[in-house]
């Protein structure tokens, strides 16, 4: 029985971690869907989202020091929720603007070039963002102040669920619902889906491709920002290089799910999160980071289209 509880615990931790990867993976998959391009700089947008949240949180603390709340109860819930929402929204808006700016400045002028040229540019943007951030704020990790009090949730017996984990999973689910609404029920969501199938037909049908692409970047970047805030609840330190590993792992998650496929990105993220946690939990912590690379190589060699992806044939 204890083994089962242990396994469930790992599963839960993995789902929490996987939610973060899923949110970031969505950005990769959506951009690849409309542009057939791997946005190497996406991990650094996630990092900047965390920093934006860090700044906003510090600002809030000058008015309300949130760390005086020791537990989530009926009368502490509202201030905590409102402040957290402000931080999240602020970071998401910041990153949406950032994402669109990057697209306009660095990627759009290269829209007719070979994809490799854009990939190289993306690598350049990624390095630029990391190192400029490091220049301005220093390489030392900085502590993200508490947004919600991190306590174990009562009443679950031997299973330890932290309030932060619950917040992560619930927020992710909420964001997923919103995303699905946008992609499935709005005109621009329809345009996104159409664009990922046939851009030429889209523009012939009167779709403003540029606008839709920018919107896609905005959406993906906002989700990455949310991930940055959520992850700070669990491990509250931000560094300029924090986007590298999660970025590449989320990319692997997107490929695992089938790059271009939104459901796939979520499933992929959760799978990678769970795998990582299991590997670490069952005695191989040093292999934790290598898992993602291993998965990547296995998928690309044996099933490059991933779990839900489409095969795209080159027209000869």
Partner 1 sequence: MSRARTTLAVFLFFLFLFALIGERPFLAHLAYYYDILINIGINVILAVSLNLVNGYTGQFSLGHAGFMAVGAYAAGSWTDHLSPGLINFLAGSSGVLTFVLNPFPFLQPFVLPTVVADNLALIVATLFGGFLAALAGLAVGIPSLRLRGDYLAIVTLGFGEIIRTLILNIDFLGAARGMSVKGTYTNMFWTFGFAAVAIYIVLSLVNSTYGRGFLTVRDDEVAAEAMGINTTKYKVIAFVVGAFFAGTAGSLFAHYTGYLTPEGFNFFKSVDVVVMVILGGMGSTTGVILAAVLLTILPELLRALAHTDFVPAFQKAFEGVVPIHLPPLQGLLENRLILYSLLLIIMMLTRPQGLFGDLAGSRKRVASSASK
Partner 2 sequence: MDALLKVDRCTIRFGGLTAVSNLDMSIGNRELVGLIGPNGAGKTTVFNMITGVYQPTEGAIFLNGDRLNGLKPFHITAKGIARTFQNIRLFVSLTVLDNVRAAFNLHLKHGPLHALTRGPKFKQEEADINGQAMDLLKIFNLDRFRDVMCKNLPYGDQRRLEIVRALATKPRLLLLDEPAAGMNPTEKGALMTLIEFIQEKFDISVLLVEHDMRVVMGICKRIYVLDYGITIAEGPPDEIRRDPKVIQAYLGE
Interface residues toward partner 2, by CB under 8 A: 311, 313, 316
In whole angstroms, how far apart are CA 152 and each of 72, 106, 157? 11, 45, 11
The answer to whether 256 contacts partner 1 (rule: CB under 8 A) is no
Contact 214, 100 (CB under 8 A): yes
Outline where DSSP puts E strands in 148-205: none
Closest distance of CB 45 from partner 1, Å:
15
Q: Which is nearer to partner 2, 2 or 311 (CB)?
A: 311
Phi, psi of 156 (to 5 degrees): -110, 20
Neighbours of 282 (CB within 10 A): 11
Q: Under DSSP, is residue 152 helix (H, G, I), strand (E, B) or coil?
A: strand
69-108 footprint of partner 1 as x/- string (CB under 8 A)? -------------------------------------x--
Neighbours of 295 (CB within 10 A): 20
Closest distance of CB 109 from partner 1, Å:
6
Contacts with partner 1 by CB under 8 A: the residue count is 44
Contact 269, 171 (CB under 8 A): no
Contact 29, 254 (CB under 8 A): yes
Q: Under DSSP, is residue 237 helix (H, G, I), strand (E, B) or coil?
A: strand
Which of 109, 152, 177, 210 forms a contact with partner 1 (CB under 8 A)?
109
Q: Which is nearer to partner 1, 156 or 287 (CB)?
A: 287
For residues 198 and 203, what is the distance between their CA atoms, to the nearest angstrom?
9
The answer to whether 294 contacts partner 1 (rule: CB under 8 A) is yes
Q: Which is nearer to partner 1, 19 or 39 (CB)?
A: 39
136 binds, among partner 1, partner 2, none (CB under 5 to 8 A by kind): partner 1
Closest distance of CB 312 from partner 2, Å:
11
Which residue's structure tokens are 């290598």? 290
As beta bridge partners, residue 238 has: 142
- Judged by CB under 8 A, the chain residues 153 through 182 that form the site for partner 1 are none
The answer to whether 251 contacts partner 1 (rule: CB under 8 A) is yes
The residues binding partner 1 (CB under 8 A) are 37-38, 106, 109-110, 112-121, 123-128, 130-132, 134-136, 138, 248, 251, 255, 286-287, 289-290, 293-294, 296-297, 300-301, 304, 314, 316
């Amino acid at each position: 029985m204890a083994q089962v509880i242990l396994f469930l615990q790992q599963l839960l931790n993995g789902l929490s971690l996987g939610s973060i990867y899923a949110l970031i993976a969505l950005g990769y998959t959506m951009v690849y869907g409309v542009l057939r391009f791997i946005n190497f700089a996406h991990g650094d947008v996630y990092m900047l989202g965390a920093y934006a949240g860090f700044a906003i949180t510090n600002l809030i603390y000058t008015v309300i020091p949130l760390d005086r709340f020791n537990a989530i109860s009926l009368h502490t819930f509202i201030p905590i929720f409102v402040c957290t929402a402000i931080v999240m929204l602020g970071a998401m808006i910041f990153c949406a603007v950032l994402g669109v700016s990057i697209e306009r400045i660095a990627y759009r002028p290269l829209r007719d070039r070979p994809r490799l040229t854009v990939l190289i540019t993306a690598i350049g943007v990624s390095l630029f963002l990391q190192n400029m951030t490091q220049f301005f704020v220093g390489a030392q990790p900085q502590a993200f102040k508490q947004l919600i009090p991190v306590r174990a949730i009562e009443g679950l017996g031997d299973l330890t669920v932290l309030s932060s984990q619950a917040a992560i999973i619930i927020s992710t689910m909420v964001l997923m619902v919103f995303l699905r609404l946008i992609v499935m029920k709005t005109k621009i969501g329809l345009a996104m889906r159409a664009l990922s199938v046939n851009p030429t037909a889209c523009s012939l049908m009167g779709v403003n491709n540029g606008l839709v692409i920018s919107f896609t970047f905005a959406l993906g970047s906002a989700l990455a920002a949310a991930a940055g805030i959520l992850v700070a609840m669990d491990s509250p330190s931000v560094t300029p290089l924090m986007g590298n590993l999660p970025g590449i792992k989320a990319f692997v998650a997107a490929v695992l799910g089938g790059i271009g496929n939104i459901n796939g990105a979520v499933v992929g993220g959760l799978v990678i999160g769970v795998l990582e946690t299991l590997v670490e939990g069952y005695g191989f912590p040093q292999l934790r980071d290598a898992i993602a690379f291993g998965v990547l190589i296995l998928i690309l060699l044996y099933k490059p289209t991933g779990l839900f992806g489409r095969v795209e044939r080159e027209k000869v």
